[in-house]
Homo-oligomer: A and B are copies of this chain.
């Protein structure tokens, strides 16, 4: 199977390499062409422009850093739109907002092409290991055609229906995650102030029914007060705001998430927005201004 691949950042490079290792023929393009060399060594062909990649391949995947890059690759000169047409599919796996996704979808469809948004859950390591979780939405036939590639890139892919649903699903997951981070923070703080060892609480939690990778990974660094931003707090708060907004549209009352959101806002007001989202622990501890611990 032949696929185009646009964007060779940390994620894109790992994903394209995986495809090559599993026997896919891959034509790559990157804004900085030098980044393509590593993949050429693995057997990739290089395309001059997004348009030329699309021209050559039936399926083209994009993995770009942000909405403006995602839009640029499609709408700019030599972009995807110039060659997309009936019989070709474009799959954007970048994490972008609903508006950006809808805009690209409409433009691709107007040219007769098929479009799939397919944001992923998981970062560098899962990308390298082909262990991403893929949240696809849009053209079902295109999804079906992409399954062999998704099987290589992720441990699991989901088809979620209409465009926008991929982003929504990420919001819901992140909302639950944000509330859980607050629950953990409150528990650690309660343990500490009640004469129990927070570290022992982590050990106990890890043996029980609510043991989960996030508690295991973040708990120890929270106790140390180090918050290197794997997922910046301001982004977590933005996702909670958007999830609560989605709830507002649909009249879903979510008091626990709302309380968690206010804690993240408090963290932002204390200048912790650029730290990891686990820094909300500082708010629960009530340490205030001085407590913006960094490794």
A177 touches B263 (CB 8 A): no
Among residues of B, the one whose C-beta sits closest to the C-beta of A253 is B266
Bound complex: CA A287 to CA B269 (Å): 10
Tell me if A250 is interfacial: C-beta within 8 Å of chain B.
Answer: yes
B262 touches A254 (CB 8 A): yes
CB neighbors of B among A150-164 (8 A): 155-156, 158, 160-162
Taken residue by residue from 44 to 57, chain A's Cβ proximity to chain B (1 for < 8 Å, 0 otherwise) reads as: 00000000000000
Bound complex: CA A249 to CA B266 (Å): 12
- Decide: A210 near B176, CB < 8 A? Known: A183-B183, A248-B241, A250-B190: yes
B160 touches A172 (CB 8 A): no
B196 touches A172 (CB 8 A): yes
Tell me if A255 is interfacial: C-beta within 8 Å of chain B.
Answer: yes
B186 touches A179 (CB 8 A): yes
Determine the chain B residues whose CB is within 8 A of the CB of A288 once the complex forms: 270, 286-289
- Decide: A210 near B269, CB < 8 A? Known: A168-B196, A284-B254: no
- Decide: A286 near B269, CB < 8 A? Known: A204-B133, A207-B133, A212-B209: yes
Distance between A124 CB and nearest chain B CB, rounded to angstroms = 14
A179 touches B190 (CB 8 A): no
Taken residue by residue from 214 to 246, chain A's Cβ proximity to chain B (1 for < 8 Å, 0 otherwise) reads as: 100100000000000000000000000101001
Distance between A114 CB and nearest chain B CB, rounded to angstroms = 21
CB neighbors of B among A240-295 (8 A): 241, 243, 246-263, 265-266, 268-270, 273, 284, 286-290
Bound complex: CA A222 to CA B246 (Å): 22
3 tightest A-B contacts by CB?
Answer: A288-B288, A253-B266, A179-B183
